Structure 1
Amino acid sequence: MMEKPYMPALAQRLKKFNQHRLPEMVKLKYEAMTENIFRFYRGTCHLFYENLRNAKKIPASPVTWVCGDLHLENYGSYKANNKLVYFDLNDFDEAVLAPALWEVLRLITSIFLAFDALDIDQDQAFNMATLFLKTYSATLCTGKPINIDPRTAKGIVCDFLNSADKNNYKDILEKRTEKKKHKVVLSLHDERHFKIHKPLKEALIEHMEHWIAESNESPYNYKVKDAVFRLAGTGSIGVKRYLFLLKSKIEKDNYLIIDMKQSFPSSLLPYTKAKQPEWTSESERIVMVQQRMQHMSSSMLSTTEFNGDSYVIQELQPVKDTIRFKLIKDRYRDIIQVIDDMAVLTASSQLRSGGMDGSAVIDELKAFGADKTWQEAALNYALETKKDIEKDFNTFKEDYQNGVFN
């Protein structure tokens, strides 16, 4: 009997988690994760919570709705159903009921790691993490959620949103489409777009046509013209994800692009003791929590089932972008403003969804915000976790170079 080849412990954990993803795309995920420690962190949310369950010095906190994978690049701008632009949390694939502090620990750890990857002084990272905790706590103490749009934003976030507000659908069409034989199609020259085999493409288009006809969230009088496989993010590389080009039956040269993304169970679920609602599907969980935590949700947000898999559908945004810290790494005041806004939004998302299906009510969240005893422990945990992630990242790079993930 042949012995199984030896596989390092970290590689086993990564391969086990990604075993149900598309193998060829998972290879691209592993490659992306070698870029820097922050990219590795983004691709290994499950490792963070596997390690968190064994931690003994994490203060207690109220159970709230959390997006689960909160880091500096999971806030961004987007146009909502009401056609206004907002800056808010924007990734809810991992969303569950869990201790409020888990969300905060994931975020402040990302500050230390992202600043390290950008060669920003770690004293500055510590100051920003401390600022985040103070603003987050102060916002909870108000008991009132706040939203950020071009009218309420300040500094660089205001500039960011005003720029986003001026964008239109032509921008996205220019980037993602091309003309072939006088027809507009999704471009395969985009490195994030991949061709779909004909039988699957035909089945997907038929499914999307059915969604357009049956869903209350779908656009009126549109027809599907094309579809491609889409690659996006880091943690979600390997899930099935498709883009559809829709054309209006009424208005000439009026197009929409729809994103359809496969849903998996949250990687937090094995570790949180909070009783979860009985969702009909993973995509229902994602959409329902997103609608609770965001001030306004993105256009056409809905769910569907295709070939036995659960998917989230939403309109691909004319602009859905993140603050590029690489461009502002030397602008200390701008970084302060962004981190401060992110803290406000994190607390606001928990207040906004307070009291729903088992989450803490606002009075509990206010009391937690007023409690000064947990912040130092949170900072210490994030700093210790950073060291552990550095070890894991170095091990991962060595394993990758040795062909363990081939």
Structure 2
Amino acid sequence: MTISDPRAFLTGLFTTAVARADPMLCLAAHLPPRPKGRLVVIGAGKASARMAEALEAHYGPCEGLIITRYGYNRPVSVEVLEAAHPVPDDAGVAATRRLMDLVSSLGADDQIIALISGGGSSLLCAPAKGLTLADKQTLNAALLASGMPISQMNIVRKQVSMVKGGRLAALAHPAQMLSLVISDVPGDDPAEIASGPTVGSAATRDMALAALDRWAVTLPAHIRAVIEGAPDPLAPDDPRLAGAELRIIAAPAQSLQAAKAEAEAQGVEVRLLGDALEGEARDLAAQQAAMALQIAEEGHPHPVLLLSGGECTVTRRGDGVGGPNAEYALAAAVALKGHPRVHVLACDTDGVDGAAEVAGAYAGPETLLQEVSAPDALASNDAHGFFGRIGGQIVTGPTLTNVNDFRAVLIMPQA
């Protein structure tokens, strides 16, 4: 078969992957019958307002409180408060305090449905005793610049929060709680999604300290002291979690499978490399570019597509503007050296790559010809600046869901 526009083809697959995780399509099947007593809807994350919209489409108007990212609100009866992501702000602190007060006021006859998605780690901001918002901002910025995997970041975050690591569910005890969760973490561990506010965790203080040391994260002495003295998160068998149930309603694997099916329907051979890949974005890009070059040399008579998900990280080396998906695409372009038959797209399914309002980027055979400074841009972590100059950015706006990174490498056959 012939793909006349590889960029449009890859962008279409990304759109399919995002659509598969739309709460309007995947949430209702997980809802129980509406309880006869009081129902309170809470939530946190970039998809939480959309999840509330899907819930109310099934139940009708509800009461409660949702915290989501600026620009991610939806027209729902549940109150929606907006706050900053990925670095928390005053609005997030105030919103989290209101959420804590709400769940603390409920009793054993009340039912809570918690709508949790990626982004909740920053949006749920309740600094532990001895810390301020500025301290949390300092910690978050240091973690994001360190190259630490998200799973390790969340272990640290649980040590400095009054709501993460099951503590929000503990505040709601003895009310019954059902958490409906969209996964954005490799492996889909509920304890890692939004740092697990409604589920117990095996994370410990010692694990958090070990992560800080391994990734050489330097913190002010008083922040380090709070982490060293903080109690561990709630264990999974904590009695305060006895009334808490959790269901994952969407995950990266499902979105990748949807893209795979669409590509195969168009005659493309798809090789699924995994939905939980982690590591440095530039390193993964070099590995997958090498795979693509090998496939191109094999001379297949049909297009071959490499698909993968997970969550890459970027160790900040320069002062440019970039995110892990754009950096992956830029590093792949450098490694491919303008190969005439290989095309790359990497995007975050929430529409935000790093701190930029850009989902990710596309790189093709012409990328290095359009802008000669690719190695310099990569060295300074300026992937978004690079692709912005050549029109290679993928901009979606808020997608209202979040199932992590989507990476696609298309190897076209020889003419």
Could you say whether these structures have the same fold, taking a TM-score greater than 0.5 normalized by the shorter chain as the test? no
Higher RCO (CA < 8 A, seq sep 6+): 1
Q: TM-score, normalised by structure 1?
A: 0.26
More helix, by proportion: 1
